[in-house]
Structure 1
Amino acid sequence: MIRFELFLILLVCALFSWSPALAQGVVEPPLPWKVKLISGETLKGTISKWDFKGIDGSFGHAPWTNFKPDDANRMCKKLLDWRLASQYIQLARMLFTLQDADKLAEAALADAIRRDRNCANEVVALRAEVAEHRRKVIEDRRIAAEKEFQAKAVGADTAKKKDNAPKKKNNAPKEKDDAPIAQPARVISDAPRAQPWSVATDAERAQALTDMKADADRWLKQVNLRYSVVDAKYWVLYADLPIGETKDLAQRMDDMYETVAKMFALPVGLNIFHGKAVVIVSATEAHYRALEMAAYNSMPPPGAIGLCHMVGPKVVVSAYKSQDANRFMATLVHEASHGFMHRYGSPARLPSWADEGYAEYVAAESFANSTTKDDRKPQGLQWIRSGTNNVLNVLHMNYEDGSWPGPDAIGYAIGYLTVDYLVQTNHQAFGEWVKDVKAGIPWEEALKKRFGWSVTQLAQAVKARYRARD
């Protein structure tokens, strides 16, 4: 009897040790299987060979990625050696590559640890490997999208492509001796192309952000101030305000960024800043001026409640919260828009009237109760309707020779009206004009290319548009 019982025990052990897959490889005898694939097709036949990449059989080869996670997990468990923790770790590795199979993969890792507690380090290593792989996939996609955007933002090959933007009638007054322009010229400029911003890796972006935060912390320490900090999606906001108000302001800044990004058809969620942009908001003018001196060794111009500093790839916006909340927000958006445009495509700068005019336009369109329309527009209309002023003079003003912004800062008002007019005339052409300028094409040449107008014609068109109409 004892011998018979011993025989049964040995037989059971033999049966359990026998498996069609003590290791990866041949399945003997072949295992029949019928299952519906992700594609909806049905796979039917016998499995004769397998590994953690897929199966082979009478149906040919089928990778595990073709199967629903539950089906792949169930069949692998039939094929693997259930005694070996290493087999479950490999099963988890495969499941991590399938969509929505993380719970199954973690269950396989738990099975591995139950079989051998000494494999815990391998489990930790696998999780780290999977996390790094997924991070790299996301990084590669972001870099590819950013490079594609950079190529478009600096007008790459735009002159060679057919322009499908809707054409509008050219209402600009004709200059003397100017031939009528039926269509905007489509020629390839021989102007040297601007160098686009380099596309940073995740590590480079993280380091840039660390450096910029260190700068801000150092400036605050120099003037003995401690501000609350909120890391938003596109900005790092330092503010001498209640934390709730700081968070609300950070959200409004993110909303503003996405509004501007939409205007220029950026891929959703694309962050064009060098890591992020830094925004420092002080509760008082005294603190604001002290920080400006500590950071840039200069004092803000009289009446300025905000400034944008663009140093290489870095963008820092500094402002103080004036008593007029709407004016403060309009200023903050205006200055932040400069930072956005600085990082758009390349460091090439728009002409002064457009650089400031577009910032005013964004401030006017980004949020309700903006003071821009109430302040700039009436000033510009009055100036044009006086009959003694020439818009062309404003279009020729610039930062370099000190002529900007002109008497009573009229450049801001006329710049705003000019940008508003161009956007209303053909918003797609305006976007392409910006890309051309950022690509290094002289703005006057780009204006002719996209709108068919000379600078004089643009000045006359703006004057004609606003002389009798608001």
Structure 2
Amino acid sequence: MPTLIAMALVAVLAQSQGAPANSAADGAASAASAPSVGTTIKETHPEKPLRIRVKLARGTIVAGVLASWDDDAISGDFGRIEWIELTPSEFKRLFSKVMDDRDATHQLRFAELLVAVGLDAPAESAWKKAVSIDPAAKTRVSASRSAADAMRAARVERERMEREGAVQDFAEDGAAPRWPVLTDAERDAALATMREDAKRYSAMAGVSVEPIETEYFILISELRPAETKELQKELDRMYAQVLGYLGVDSKVNLFWGKAVIFLFATEDRFKAVEAGAFQNPMVGRPGSGQVMGLCHMMKEKVFVNSWRCPDYALFGSVLIHETVHGIMHRYSTPARLPAWADEGFSDWVAAQFQPATVEQARRAQAMQYIRSGGNLVTVLDMNYRDGSWPGPNALGYAVGYAIVDAMMREDARKFEAWLRKVKGGTPWEQAMHEACGLSKAQLAANVSRFFSTRD
């Protein structure tokens, strides 16, 4: 199917990548802790050593003798642990045990920390109790509430950054530079930039529509509301599914701000943005074929430009394929998979949503090549750099899809482990040996055997 083939070929040449300016460790190091704001309590010692056993929010059990505590933390032979590092229930139990229940200052701080860990109802009771103990404390409650809100925001930010940092830090060798983990302020600035880019680029096609935002995407759509809504849901579902394949928490936003998705009604508008925003010389040239979608990875930014062709299923498949390229670009590092896997995995994901379209374009061609004794190593060696990809009649796309399909069906966990190593900077053949115990020739032989008795 020349339309799907041409779409992916031009995407190869349109993608512009750049290395991150900072490592994930740099970003994680700037992760916000709960600020030391609000009501203060000086270091206080229990009347006698207090033996404790508590569970931290990250799952660790800590046991030892508590020697002192203050408004921010507990200390003992286990070291120093911030109150907000405990699970909410453990914090509430232990703070209640060490505090002076008749001290208004203690009640104010208790309320602030309760809000910080997400226990709003008990916090209200603590504020009321502080005022009942000392009516003069009423004048302090407003500032106490503000401090509590700031502490909660800092905790949420820190937890988000820790989740995102975990995605960046999986690679064993650390050869590839990581995308930095952004603070809330940096994310807000990135999102503002992406919104402005979306508005500016769509204007190049003479389009001015109200953007639709999801958790991860900014959609600029000229399509009918029902179609836009359907695609919006499909993109969000696909994003969560891909993160699941990668073993990533579905709450993590991999994008710099959000990815921008253009859904134009006509090919001319699509081409106008390709030329004006992305300086893409390929679209519209003789031999380039009809292109329905392209992913542009511009350093940290991700844009997917597309137009709604008459074949809606094909359009949906192309949109998923291109968006997967953007997700993989932002997955931990900008390191790229080899061409057969880069395109094969994008097609494999698209097939989970539009199976008929991908199968029609890929399966028969791949089976004919494999079962006629075609050399899979030749396809594995094809690459973007020397122009050998995708080979005659775009063979690489069909066979790449089949290789990924076989690997996912045989052992998806090994494919994920291999993918992680490549994204971490390990050469793909070395990563295949380490993750799957296979040489390039053995991988080719395995795939040929796999499809010798099944489709």
Q: 1:135 aligns with which of 146, 153, 164?
A: 153
Q: Distance in 2 between matches of 1:215 and 1:320?
A: 18
1:466 counterpart residue number: 451
Please tell me whether Structure 1 or Structure 2 has the larger radius of gyration of its CA atoms.
Answer: 1
| CA distance 1:148–1:336, shift in 2 (3 Å) | same
Shift of 1:245: 2.9
Aligned residues: 354
| CA distance 1:77–1:361, shift in 2 (3 Å) | same
Shift of 1:251: 2.1
- Normalising by structure 2, we get a TM-score of 0.72
Q: 2:138 aligns with which of 84, 88, 91?
A: 88
2:72 counterpart residue number: none
Contact kept? 1:338, 1:355, Cα under 8 Å: yes
Structure 2 regions of 5+ residues with no counterpart?
1-40, 42-90, 115-120
The 10-residue stretch of structure 1 (129-138 or 229-238) with the greater mean CA deviation from structure 2: 129-138
1:401 counterpart residue number: 386
| CA distance 1:131–1:302, shift in 2 (3 Å) | farther
- Residue 219 in structure 1 maps to residue 201 in structure 2: yes
Summarize deviations over 1:252-300 as a string: whole Å, max 9, x none.
2111101111111211311010010011011111211111111112242
2:366 counterpart residue number: 380
Q: How many percent of aligned residue pairs carry the same amino acid? A: 35
2:240 counterpart residue number: 258
- Normalising by structure 1, we get a TM-score of 0.69
Q: 2:311 aligns with which of 324, 340, 347?
A: 324
Give the AA of the match of 1:314: K
| CA distance 1:258–1:42, shift in 2 (3 Å) | closer
Once the two structures are superposed, the pairs formed by residues 256-405 of structure 1 within 5 Å of their partners are 256-298=238-280, 299-300=282-283, 301-365=288-352, 367=353, 369-387=355-373, 389-405=374-390
Once the two structures are superposed, the pairs formed by residues 69-84 of structure 1 within 5 Å of their partners are 69=123, 71-81=125-135, 84=136
Contact kept? 1:196, 1:346, Cα under 8 Å: yes
Q: 2:409 aligns with which of 406, 418, 424?
A: 424
Structure 1 regions of 5+ residues with no counterpart?
1-23, 25-36, 56-61, 97-125, 157-188
Q: Secondary structure at the match of 2:169?
A: helix
Q: Distance in 1 between matches of 2:385 and 2:403?
A: 21
| CA distance 1:461–1:227, shift in 2 (3 Å) | same
Shift of 1:247: 3.0
Q: 1:150 aligns with which of 168, 172, 178?
A: 168
Q: Distance in 1 between matches of 2:150 and 2:289?
A: 51
Shift of 1:76: 2.4
What is the alpha-carbon root mean square deviation over aligned residues? 2.8
Summarize deviations over 1:302-327 as a string: whole Å, max 9, x none.
22211111110111001111111111
1:162 counterpart residue number: none
Give the AA of the match of 1:356: E
- Residue 444 in structure 1 maps to residue 429 in structure 2: yes
Shift of 1:46: 9.7
Q: Secondary structure at the match of 1:371?
A: helix
Higher relative contact order (CA 8 A, sep 6+): 2
Q: Distance in 2 between matches of 1:46 and 1:323?
A: 72
| CA distance 1:91–1:210, shift in 2 (3 Å) | closer
1:107 counterpart residue number: none
Shift of 1:338: 0.4
